Structures are given as structure tokens and as C-alpha cells.
Copies of this chain bind each other. A is one copy, B any other.
């Protein structure tokens, strides 16, 4: 049922995979231009992204956001293991396609870096990944009869029903993985990426979620609205009535082609407290 939409989305994402600043159709000339893309700019944005996600309540104690390298597109940048609200540019580590730090003396990064590395491996359209433990979202990962679904006008990027990754589906055939709730090796990361498929978001049972985007602004925007959508859907269910979900037409409006993510990105950045 969602396949037509997914294909459209995949095309549009691929179309801009290497360009953050998408050319604007003539009618949208008022949009502020982002700075030129470069690894320096991506690292600066990664610091903003970490702080925005804390400021908006998506990341609390833990969680991490990463960005693909423009220069070495199999590599990605990740903060060292630390509270995400305190990240600065000097905390960023470059990791290779196997999630190993390029610099052998680099500080330790989070053990769950494989969530990011294995998604980058199979999703060339993805330039940025957020892994959060957003408390509004986790209940949907442990209540199988109640999938997370798009209800908010800003959440049209969500698939019609968000998939849930459960390590038990992997570990049932591999005793070495039994009980592994952390996605802290390549095999589990690859299985997670497979569950994500071509979607924008995947839940991790009892643990959190991963959100991807064609740029850091996209991934951050989606992580914020995944969180808000979950809270709203839960409260609507509390009202004890049928819930109205977004329909096909509405879901189509949230591709990178028709929605300008630079605006909420600038807005979210300007809300950051002074450092």
C-alpha cells in the first residue's frame, strides 16, 4: 500500500543525496539560502544538531546524531561518548565505513555507533542519522497492537506504520546475540538498517528510535516531529475514540521537493540558549 509513496520518496531523496541546499522552484525564492556544503560546515551543523535535539527534549541524557562525510562519503562524523547537550566541534570523531575511528588516538565514541554506520552503508540517500531514546516514542515500540502512525501536519515523512526492530528476530538464530538490547555490533546494526528499509524512521523495541534524513536539518526536523507525533497520537488514543491518520495525499507533501526544511532548522537554531 505504501510502495508508491516509498518509491517517490526514495527518488526524491536520491535526487538530492549530495546537495543540502536544494535549488528552489521559482515560486519559493524567499527561502533563506544555507551556507555552502563542506565537511567543516557539516561538523558545525552537527554541534548545532546535538544541542537542538537536547533543547527540544528529544535527546535527554543519552542519544547521538551523526552526519556523513562529504569528502569521504563512506565515512561519517560522530561526537565522542558524552552528554549530547555539551558537544563542541572538538568532540567530533571521524569513523570509517566499519564504524572504526580514523585516528587511533580518537576518544571513545558510543558503542551503538553501528546504528549509524550500517544505515549509511545501505542508504546512500541518507546524509544524517539521529538515535534517540525519546520517551514519547518508546511506548509504541512495546505495544505491538498500536503502531506509531502519522497524525501531525508536520509528520508526513513518517511511513504509514512505523516498523519496530527487535533483536529477538536476529538473536533467535544466533546464541551470541541473545539478550542484546544494545545495537552495538555490525550484525545488529545491519539488521536494524534492514528493518528501516527505505523509511525515514524505525523504532527499536524497549529502547528508542533511529531517524534518517537527506541532511542534518532534515534528520533533526524529523526527530523532533517523530517525538511530537508520538505524544499527540498517544493522547488521542487516550480520548478513547477512533483516530484520524494522515492519508496518502498528505504523506506525499513531505518530500524534500515540496517542503523547505531550512526554515524550521533556522528557527530551531535561533532558539538555542547562548553558549
Contacts and interface: CB of A to CB of B under 8 A. Distances in A.
A35 B160 CA distance: 50
Given A144-B242, A207-B152, A249-B179, A139 B236 contact: yes
B151 A244 contact: no
Number of copies of this chain that the complex holds: 4
Interface stretch (A14-22, A78-86, A124-132): A78-86
A186 interface: no
A237 to B, nearest CB: 6
Given A152-B207, A207-B153, A135 B231 contact: yes
A44 interface: no
A7 interface: no
Given A81-B263, A241-B143, A135 B62 contact: no
Interface string A218-230: 0000001000100
A270 B83 contact: yes
Given A61-B271, A145-B242, A153 B140 contact: no
Given A61-B267, A252-B179, A270-B82, A242 B143 contact: yes
A146 interface: yes
A182 interface: yes
Nearest to A146: B239
Q: Which of A153, A246, A250 has the most CB of B within 10 A?
A: A153
A242 to B, nearest CB: 6
SS class of chain A's interface: helix, strand, loop or mixed?
loop
A258 to B, nearest CB: 9
Contact of A138 (B138, B142, B152, B208): B152
A42 B250 CA distance: 37
Nearest to A232: B138
Given A61-B267, A268-B61, A238 B242 contact: no
Contacts of A245: 142
A102 interface: no
Given A249-B178, A271-B61, A238 B238 contact: yes
B207 A241 contact: no
Contacts of A247: 168, 179
A181 interface: yes
A207 B235 CA distance: 14
Given A83-B271, A267-B82, A206 B143 contact: no
6 contacts: A61-B267, A145-B241, A153-B208, A166-B244, A178-B249, A237-B238
The 7 closest A-B pairs by CB, nearest first: A179-B249, A145-B241, A153-B181, A153-B207, A139-B235, A143-B241, A139-B236
